[in-house]
Amino acid sequence: MIKVKCSLCNKKAVIELKYANKKLCEKHFTLFYEKRVRRTIVKNSMLRRKDKVAVGVSGGKDSLVLLYLLHKMRYNVEAVLIDEGIKGYRDKTIPYVEKLCKELNIPLHVFSFKEEYGKTLNETVKKRKRPACSYCGVFRRSLLNKAARRINADKLAIGHNLDDETQMILMNFTRSELLRLARAGPVVGIVEDDRFVQRIKPLRECSEKENVLYALLTGIKYSDVECPYAGEAFRSTVRECLNMMEEKHPGTKLGILHSFDKLLPILKEHFQEVGEVNACKVCGEPTSGEICKSCQMKKEIT
């Protein structure tokens, strides 16, 4: 029986990385993966050794792999979890987070929509004027920032992977949302303002598939329950399109990401607003306008 061998040793390959023209065994994939994340962190100056890192965790593969790996790299990490109060979803994913945090002895902080906004997402959408995910996205982001600040973190690490990033790039590009693009990137929120905790994305060069494989090989148990609120339809189209291109032309996703990274300084120069950061008149959180996005949305649903 023919066995497909690892490109670096005699062992059996567990993954084919077409974009890198490699087939790798368990051990060599793990090393390859960890090296890449380390490189992403260094290349983008994401972390300093003394930084305290809040890791936004959901219980899914990406965020748990991120938590595990930053801990393995001996960064000072603490986990923050946002409980939106989505029944049949969040309550099922939380135990996975608790389990990993306990095993690795990492402090876990839970912040809930109910406590912060007075309503769970389930309650919020009863009065919604937009898709559930719009509220969720804005509330989550704002609450993650607050949470990171409350635990005195220097950085907030989030589990966005190569697929998330390339989808975001293509979606914004297609809609001509160049200001949004200018605000994205490996490190977000460079604004010198201590109310903003810089967000970093150490897994942005790792595909979803690589994250699943890494989780399986290292024994990280994660939840793959899907959120009951269907995501944006346009995103699914973009995802399918990118997957098709990647299959026919391996390296498409990394190519898009790297081109974006090269364009980013130019985008920032041309599109980023220079206005100062104000304190929201309602909640005091940082905002470029008078009232922050999260308070505007809160008003909509009350």
Partner 1 sequence: MKVEVIIRDKKKKITLPDNSRMKSLLEKINAKEEEYVFSRNGKIVLSDEKLKEGDKIKLFPVISGG
Does residue 167 interact with partner 1 by CB under 8 A?
no
Q: DSSP E strands: which ranges in the chain?
A: 15-17, 22-24, 52-57, 76-83, 108-112, 155-157, 187-188, 198-200, 278-279, 286-287
Beta carbon of residue 211, minimum distance to partner 1 (angstroms, whole number) = 8
Residues near partner 1 (CB under 8 A), total:
33
Candidate segments 45-53, 133-141, 185-193, 211-219, binder of partner 1 by CB under 8 A: 211-219
Are residues 69 and 37 in contact, defined by beta-carbon separation less than 8 angstroms?
Answer: yes
Instruction: Report if residue 6 touches Zn ion, rule: CB under 5 A.
Output: yes
Q: Work out which of 147, 157, 227, 297 binds partner 1, going by CB under 8 A.
A: 227
164 belongs to the binding site for partner 1 (CB under 8 A): yes
Stretch that binds partner 1, among 100-108, 142-150, 208-216, 251-259 (CB under 8 A): 208-216
Kindly tell me which residue out of 23, 71, 140, 155 binds partner 1, with binding defined by CB under 8 A. Answer: 23
Is the Cβ of residue 108 or residue 225 nearer to partner 1 in the bound state?
A: 225
If binding is defined by CB under 8 A, does position 26 make contact with partner 1? Answer: yes
Question: Quick one: 237 exposed, middle or buried, by C-beta within 10 A (0-12, 13-18, 19+)?
Answer: middle
The number of beta carbons lying within 10 Å of the beta carbon of residue 226 is: 10
Is 140 a residue that touches partner 1 (CB under 8 A)? no
DSSP per position, 1-56: ---PBPSSSSSBPSEEEGGGTEEE-HHHHHHHHHHHHHHHHHHTT---TT-EEEEE
| Residue 20 in contact with Zn ion, rule: CB under 5 A | no
Member of 57, 171, 292, 297 binding Zn ion (CB under 5 A): 292
Site for partner 1 in 241-270 (CB under 8 A): 243, 246-247
Helix H, strand E, coil C: the string for 193-218 is CCCCCEEECCCCCCCHHHHHHHHHHH
Q: Please state, in angstroms and rounded to a whole number, the distance separating the CA atoms of residues 16 and 7.
A: 10
Kindly state whether residue 209 participates in binding partner 1, applying the rule CB under 8 A: yes
Q: 178 or 217, CB closer to partner 1?
A: 217
Residue selected from 8, 178, 184, 217 as contacting partner 1 according to rule CB under 8 A? 217
Does residue 55 interact with partner 1 by CB under 8 A? no
From 76-84, 184-192, 240-248, 270-278, span contacting partner 1 (CB under 8 A): 240-248
Of 85, 159, 186, 202, the residue at the interface with partner 1 (CB under 8 A) is 159
Does residue 249 sit in helix, strand or coil? coil
Under the binding rule (CB under 8 A), the answer on residue 230 touching partner 1 is no
DSSP 74: T
Integer Cα distance of 116 and 135 in angstroms = 14
What is the distance between the alpha carbons of residues 191 and 97, in angstroms, rounded to a whole number? 31
Q: What are phi and psi of 258, to 5 degrees?
A: -70, -35
Separation between Cα atoms, residue 215 and residue 61, nearest integer Å? 7
Residue 16's binding partner out of partner 1, Zn ion, none, with CB under 5 to 8 Å set by partner kind:
partner 1
3-state helix, strand, coil in the chain (%, to 5): 50, 15, 35
Q: Which residues bind partner 1 (CB under 8 A)?
A: 1-2, 4, 12-16, 23, 26, 58, 60-63, 159-161, 164, 208-209, 212-213, 216-217, 224-227, 239, 243, 246-247
Q: Which residues bind Zn ion (CB under 5 A)?
A: 6, 8-9, 11, 25, 28, 280, 282-283, 285, 292, 295
